[in-house]
Amino acid sequence: MIISKARSYVFVHIPKTAGTALTLALEARAAKDDLIIGDTPKARQRRKRLADLTPAGRLWKHATLADIDGVLSAQELDKMFCFTLVRNPWDRAVSYYHWLRAQSFDHPAVGLAQEMAFGPFLRHPETVRAFRNSPAGFYMIDAAGNERCDAYIRIEHLAQDLKPLETHLGFDLTVGRVNSSDRAVDYRSYYDDDLAEFVAALCAEDIARFGYEF
């Protein structure tokens, strides 16, 4: 997440949507007082700035707009350009699974991914709950229950969907590729028809909203 009062924007980082790459692009042009929350170089350098803040929720890399109530007032948030990245859910699920398998921290999802094949992992109740309870819009709901998003940026159409953000910033962004997982490039190779239909039902809201197809 990045909160920039100088440039009047909030970037909400939904997991496994190439958010680190966009964070790096944004922090390359960061204003002096930007709050950068995560594990990128400038986020680590500025971590002490977060100590005295009083957010309503957890102030971390994947915080929601509701979480940062108290860091920004409702009046301040009104003036912000709020945006996030989204990704084809079938592709995102593959990325999430392989990322978890490479982790060593203690979390139920890590254990499940390391113990299970891809299909059983996706069908596990914990995974189902995580995907079902947090469509893209969930991250962009403020403390008053209102969805605020000036740009949902599809990573598959990055150059096109970045335009409103670049217009707001007044400069173009160069977004590289980082944190690539060890997986096949074509996500479709991980699915049979039944599993593809399972994800279609599980992520129906985002699929319909952003025009995704298997």
Q: Give the mean pLDDT of 132-146.
A: 97
Q: Is the pLDDT of residue 14 over 90?
A: yes
Question: Encoding tokens for residue 59?
Answer: 């102030």
Q: Is the pLDDT of residue 11 over 80?
A: yes
Distance in angstroms (rounded) separating the CA atoms of residues 190 and 110: 19
Q: Measuring CA to CA, which residue among 212, 155, 189 is closest to residue 25?
A: 155
Distance in angstroms (rounded) separating the CA atoms of residues 79 and 204: 31
Per-residue DSSP letter, 179: -
Answer left, alpha or beta for residue 84, where phi above 0 means left and psi between -120 and 50 means alpha: beta
Q: Is the pLDDT of residue 205 over 80?
A: yes
Cα atoms found within 13 Å of the Cα of residue 178, Cβ hemisphere only: 12
Q: Is the pLDDT of residue 2 over 80?
A: yes
Express each pLDDT in 90-110 by its tens digit.
Answer: 999 999 999 999 999 999 999
Distance in angstroms (rounded) separating the CA atoms of residues 130 and 133: 6
Dihedral pair phi/psi, residue 78, rounded to 5°: -55, -30
DSSP string for 53-64: ---SS--STT--
What is the band of 214 on the pLDDT scale with cuts at 50, 70, 90? very high
Express each pLDDT in 171-194 by its tens digit.
Answer: 999 998 876 677 899 999 999 999
Where does the chain have alpha helices with state H? 19-27, 41-45, 74-78, 89-101, 108-115, 118-123, 125-132, 136-139, 158-161, 163-169, 193-202, 204-210
Is 181 or 85 the better-scoring residue by pLDDT?
Answer: 85
Query: Cβ of 190: how many Cβ atoms within 10 Å?
Result: 20
What is the band of 212 on the pLDDT scale with cuts at 50, 70, 90? very high
Can you give the pLDDT at residue 199?
98
Express each pLDDT in 143-179 by its tens digit.
Answer: 999 999 999 999 999 999 999 999 999 999 999 887 6
Distance in angstroms (rounded) separating the CA atoms of residues 15 and 77: 22
